[in-house]
């Protein structure tokens, strides 16, 4: 143990970046540390079996050292998500992580499902490609592959955006991702489209999104596909309730836009949503007034009520 501590201290002494790590997230790259994250997920009963972006407090490293000292390989082998080839190295990996945490003082430990190979590939990308948001790119690609209407998700996001001007940047990008997936469940039976959307958000192969973000996208899709505007209780283990309530409003706005447009661009391009202290207003072109049928009126009312307002439709000359 003493020799490991000295080796870590020596290595960090020659690493300029080590002095700037206090309070910042430490990303755990590599199979052994990914396995430690799986052990912690199992120990805490974390409800979403996605290791990528799983986040632990820095104090968990020392707890894992103590835990692994108490339990043997047989109990570790019972963890389904844990590769048997990693079990023998877990105690050493935990000890190294614990020492590293004490030396550099990170604010959080964040697991990565990717490794050095992916990092080397990323280094070879041009700056413009690196700057693109991997969550938005992946959800756009999935939406185009699974949906019916190319580029409809971007248009839908722009259409509902006026209702959510005060959102923080992270909420804006999650809402955009939800809109890009807004047609992925159309092939499913109507009674199960909401569940299909939720499952895709929670378990999709997404990057640059944590469990809370997945839950928010999932709640929005669940509501958009007709699952209702009540928060899914199980998601409150992943995300704050008020964030999920906001996601239901995204979903209701998406649901209104989908019904109004039927997937066609022109009704969304010719109309707009406005919001003030009293009303959520759907402004229509005279040529589209006939689209304001009973179902569209109902969905506008549901959206307005969720936002604490009344719904109204205006025809703008």
Domains of the chain, with CATH numbers? 2-122 (3.30.420.150), 134-266 (1.10.3210.10)
* Terminal CA-CA length for the chain: 78
Residues of the chain under the 50 pLDDT cut:
none
Encode pLDDT of 174-198 as tens digits. Answer: 999 999 999 999 888 999 999 999 9
**In terms of Cα–Cα distance, which of 267, 44, 251, 277 is closest to 155?**
267
pLDDT of residue 14: 87
Alpha-carbon distances of 35 from 63, 206, 288, 301, rounded to whole Å: 15, 20, 56, 49
């Amino acid at each position: 143990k003493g020799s490991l501590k000295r080796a870590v201290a020596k290595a960090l002494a020659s690493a300029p970046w080590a002095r700037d790590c206090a309070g910042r997230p430490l990303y755990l790259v590599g199979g052994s540390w990914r396995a430690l994250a799986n052990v912690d997920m199992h120990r805490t009963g974390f409800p979403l079996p996605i290791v990528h972006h799983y986040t632990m407090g820095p104090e968990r490293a020392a707890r894992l050292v103590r835990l692994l000292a108490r339990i043997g390989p047989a109990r570790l082998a019972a963890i389904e998500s844990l590769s048997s080839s990693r079990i023998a190295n877990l105690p050493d990996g935990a000890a190294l992580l614990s020492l590293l945490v004490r030396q550099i003082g990170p604010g959080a430990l964040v697991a990565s499902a990717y490794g050095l190979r992916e990092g080397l590939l990323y280094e070879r990308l041009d700056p413009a490609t690196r700057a693109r948001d991997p969550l938005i790119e992946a959800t756009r690609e999935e939406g185009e592959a699974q949906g019916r209407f190319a580029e409809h998700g971007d248009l839908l996001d722009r259409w509902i955006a006026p209702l959510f001007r005060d959102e923080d940047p992270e909420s804006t990008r999650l809402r955009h991702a939800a809109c890009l997936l807004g047609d992925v469940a159309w092939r499913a039976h109507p009674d199960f489209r909401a569940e299909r959307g939720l499952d895709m958000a929670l378990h999709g192969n997404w990057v640059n999104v944590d469990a809370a973000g997945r839950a928010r996208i999932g709640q929005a899709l669940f509501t958009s596909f007709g699952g209702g505007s009540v928060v899914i209780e199980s998601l409150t283990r992943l995300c704050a309730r008020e964030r999920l309530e906001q996601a239901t409003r995204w979903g209701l706005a998406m649901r209104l836009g989908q019904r109004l447009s039927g997937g066609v661009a022109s009704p969304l391009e010719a109309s707009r949503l406005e919001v003030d202290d009293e009303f959520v207003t759907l402004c229509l072109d005279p040529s589209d007034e006939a689209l304001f049928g009973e179902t569209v009126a109902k969905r506008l009312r549901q959206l307005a009520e969720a936002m604490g307002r009344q719904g109204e439709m205006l025809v703008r000359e």
